[in-house]
């Protein structure tokens, strides 16, 4: 029994390892920079897109695609594939570009490696926006820096060259784009890892065009701002929590992680969406007399962002319409939209109205207001049924009575004068 339990354990362990390491290589785009001197003696840098491959293995491995540039990622304390669990290669977009240290040389504290480094940034983005992973690839070099800006003296990369690298630093976000409702609590995910112990890390959060609102330096222990749990930073979790979202919370947030001479910034977009509240100024059934007119209003309130679509439809639900071929919904083109109203909380409201003149042929019809907004999976609908009645009989009776009274009032003097004339003609 113990043998079978151990066998099952090792099978599960092997399956987990295979799941973690299922991505063995990825096609990539190398965004290379080539510097030159123009006719005026000025330095020009040209961006060149080149075919490349990110391949995981050991030093000396044969390239999977020998026709392209190969970035061979060999073993280190950081395994980039652990950050890609459960993802197929077809779901990833890979980009690599050179990283400039602006001519500054800082020895990377890894034992047994050569003194100098050439740096490359590798970005792996999920095609459906589920995560972004950015890492630094370190290529060991015996060549010291030239002392001038390194983008002017980068060595040429040949078309089929193999560059043996290790992963020195990784950042990841599971929330590259986040949608939140008003008044909600939102966590913006940002994690990092470095390939050596006790790195001197600086973590900073800032808003695009609004400046920094949090920073922490592990070397000095100095912290400014709030929203990031300091105990979590020890384990590489630099996530920021927005305690209460409002319209001003919307925008681009940037999580920056720096270990000299490296620095990575990840953009995280927070979008605010608030669904509209929809109401009508009439009840579920609207009773009107023949020829009577009613202003019908559909009100969409407190939605964000501003784009909204309000459409009125009418549909004949009568039995005769069903016999003819089923009810058909028709769009009403005579309705009018008001201008957008900007509310105090920076949400919007809008109304769509039309004037309904009662006609017996419209009795039994259902009128529906459909409101579409990007925060809704399907439109919100509000309806009422029109019932048209004939002339009020009490009004008719009262009218007849009034007519008779007026006629009697005008005839009464004549009747009285006739009776007096008849009395004078009597012989007594």
Give the pLDDT mean for 1-28: 52
Q: Considering the chain, what is the average pLDDT of its residues?
A: 86
pTM of the model: 0.79
- How many whole angstroms separate alpha carbon 31 and alpha carbon 95? 7
Looking at residue 319, its pLDDT comes to 56
107: pLDDT strictly greater than 60: yes
Tokens 């990841």 locate to: 172
Res 106: pLDDT: 84
Which SS3 state, helix, strand or coil, does residue 101 take?
A: coil
- pLDDT bracket for residue 8 (50, 70, 90): very low
Percent of the chain with pLDDT over 70: 80
pLDDT digits 0-9 by tens, 183-230:
999 999 999 999 999 899 999 999 988 889 999 999 999 999 999 999
Q: Do the Cβ atoms of 300 and 276 come closer than 8 Å?
A: yes
| CATH class entry, domain 19-170 | mainly beta
Q: What's the rounded Cα separation, in Å, for the pair 269 and 254? A: 9
Does position 400 have pLDDT exceeding 50, yes or no?
Answer: no
**Above 50 in pLDDT, residue 21?**
no
The fold of the 174-272 domain, in CATH, is Immunoglobulin-like (2.60.40)
Instruction: Inform me whether the pLDDT recorded for 359 exceeds 50.
Output: yes
Report whether pLDDT(254) > 50: yes
pLDDT score for 290: 93
Query: Which distant-in-sequence residues (6+ apart) come within 8 Å of 401 by Cβ?
Result: none
pLDDT class of 394 with cuts at 50, 70, 90: very low
Buried b (16+ CB within 10 A) or exposed e, 187-223: ebbbbbbbbeeebebbbbbbeeeeeeebbbebeeeee
| For residue 252, pLDDT beyond 80 | yes
Fold: same for 19-170 and 277-389: yes
- Cβ pair 302, 347 in contact under 8 A: yes
One-character DSSP codes across 191-243: EEEESSSS---EEEEEETTTEEEEEEETTT--EEESSS-HHHHTTTB--EEES
- Mean pLDDT computed over 72-97: 93
Tokens matching residue 19:
């799941």
Residue 427 has pLDDT above 70, yes or no: no
Which is more confidently placed, 115 or 90? Answer: 90
User: Where are the domains positioned within the chain?
Assistant: 19-170, 174-272, 277-389
d(CA 398, CA 394): 6
Distance from C-alpha of 203 to C-alpha of 236, rounded to nearest angstrom: 10
422 in helix, strand or coil? helix
CATH T-level fold of 277-389: Immunoglobulin-like (2.60.40)
pLDDT band, residue 40 (cuts 50/70/90): confident
Which residue(s) pair with 86 in the sheet?
Answer: none
Query: Residue 296 forms beta bridges with which residues?
Result: 354
**Residue 71 CB neighbours (<10 A):** 26
Contact (CB, 8 A) for 123 and 80: no
């Amino acid at each position: 029994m113990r043998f079978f339990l151990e066998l099952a354990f090792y099978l599960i362990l092997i399956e987990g390892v295979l799941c973690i390491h299922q991505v063995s290589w990825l096609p990539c785009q190398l965004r290379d920079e080539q510097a030159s001197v123009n006719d005026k003696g000025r330095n020009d840098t040209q961006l060149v897109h080149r075919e490349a491959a990110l391949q995981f293995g050991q030093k000396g491995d044969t390239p999977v695609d020998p026709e392209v540039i190969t970035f061979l990622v060999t073993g280190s304390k950081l395994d980039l594939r652990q950050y890609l669990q459960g993802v197929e290669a077809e779901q990833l977009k890979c980009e690599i570009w050179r990283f400039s240290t602006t001519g500054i040389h800082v020895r990377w504290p890894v034992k047994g490696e050569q003194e100098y480094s050439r740096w490359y940034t590798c970005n792996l983005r999920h095609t459906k926006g589920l995560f972004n992973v950015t890492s630094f690839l370190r290529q060991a070099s015996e060549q010291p820096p030239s002392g001038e800006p390194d983008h002017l003296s980068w060595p040429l990369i040949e078309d089929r060259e193999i560059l043996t690298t290790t992963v020195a630093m990784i950042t990841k976000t599971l929330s590259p784009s986040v949608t939140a409702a008003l008044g909600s609590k939102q966590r913006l995910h940002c994690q990092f890892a470095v390939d050596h112990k006790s790195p001197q890390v600086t973590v900073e959060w800032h808003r695009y065009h609004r400046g920094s609102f949090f920073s922490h330096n592990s070397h000095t222990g100095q912290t400014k701002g709030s929203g990031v749990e300091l105990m979590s930073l020890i384990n590489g979790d630099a996530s920021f929590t927005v305690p209460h979202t409002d319209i001003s919370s919307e925008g681009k947030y940037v999580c920056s992680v720096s270990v000299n001479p490296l620095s990575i910034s990840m953009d995280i977009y927070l979008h605010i969406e608030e669904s509209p509240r929809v109401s009508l100024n009439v009840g579920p059934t609207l009773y009107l007399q023949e020829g009577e007119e009613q202003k019908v209003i559909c009100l969409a309130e407190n939605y964000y962002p501003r784009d909204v679509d309000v459409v009125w439809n009418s549909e004949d639900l009568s039995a005769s319409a069903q016999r003819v071929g089923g009810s058909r919904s028709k769009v009403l083109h005579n309705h009018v939209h008001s201008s957008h109203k900007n509310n105090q909380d920076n949400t919007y409201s809008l109304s769509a109205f039309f004037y309904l003149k009662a006609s017996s042929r419209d009795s039994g019809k259902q009128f529906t207001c459909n409101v579409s907004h990007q925060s809704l999976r399907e439109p919100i609908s509000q309806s009422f049924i029109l019932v048209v009645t004939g002339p009020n009989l009490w009004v008719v009776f009262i009218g007849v009575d009034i007519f008779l009274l007026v006629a009697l009032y005008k005839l009464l003097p004549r009747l009285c004068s006739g009776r007096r004339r008849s009395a004078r003609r009597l012989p007594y």
